[in-house]
Amino acid sequence: MRYQLNLALDRPGAVALLLCCAIAAGVLFWPVSRLFRWRPGWTLSAMLALAPILVFTVPLEAPGWQDGAVYRLAEYVRSFLHTATFQAEMQAFASSDERLANLLLFIPLGVAGALATRHALWTAAAGAALSFGIEGWQAVSGVRVASAADWIYNTGGVFIGAALGLLVLAARLLTRPDAVTPVSPATPAWSPTGDRTREFPRLHDLPAHQEPTLDLSRRPEEMTTASLRPLW
């Protein structure tokens, strides 16, 4: 694992690219969160988690894009149809630091993305699509070898992170106090005369012989809204 980290950091300009991505995340997280109505803090965390993925896995140069790029891309797509590839990679997981690094690299993105968007499934799907695109670009560039196995572990990391984020969201929902306070029946009612402390009697509290009436004893020119109030 340490070898993989040192190899990634030894890439020319890796530290500078990480710094640039961090600055870009600090500038863009607020308008992005406002645009998509995401949580600002977790949006920033998701962007920061995306930075090492882009820096360590996306080749900036593509010297072989004119030499067999279409063939390599087709081989990458065909590798998803080979069942033996999946079985072999799963069996080699315990002895492969690269596979473990691919898995762990995408977990923070899954967690932060699920908490920012509040949609774990969409986060996992977006992470899977991102990994597929990165592997496809690696095949086109010719700098690195793209395989379906790398996509499996990258997607697995996103799904694990999204599942952890979903558990956090569920825990917050279960522990959140009830925001709706029941209204007491004895709450004072509103009165047209401005008296908010007066309580109107309910109809079922009136005696059987008494019915609500309106005061119509005044002349029409003397009647106002205040005079048209029930007499009990």
Percentages of the chain per state (helix, strand, coil), in multiples of 5 = 65, 0, 35
By CB neighbour count within 10 A (0-12 exposed, 13-18 middle, 19+ buried), where does 191 fall? middle
Owner of token pair 């694992």: 1
CB neighbour list of residue 198: distance below 8 Å, 6 or more residues apart: 188, 189, 191
Domain coordinates of the chain in residue numbers? 2-174
By CB neighbour count within 10 A (0-12 exposed, 13-18 middle, 19+ buried), where does 152 fall? buried
Give the C-alpha separation, 197 to 182, whole Å. 19
**At residue 29, does pLDDT exceed 90?**
yes
Positive or negative: CA dihedral 77, 141, 55, 44: negative
**Each residue's pLDDT tens digit, 144-202:** 878 888 898 999 999 999 999 999 999 988 887 764 455 555 445 454 555 544 444 55
**Each residue's pLDDT tens digit, 67-107:** 778 888 888 888 888 777 667 766 655 456 777 888 999 99
Give the C-alpha separation, 6 to 3, whole Å. 5
Give the C-alpha separation, 228 to 213, whole Å. 10
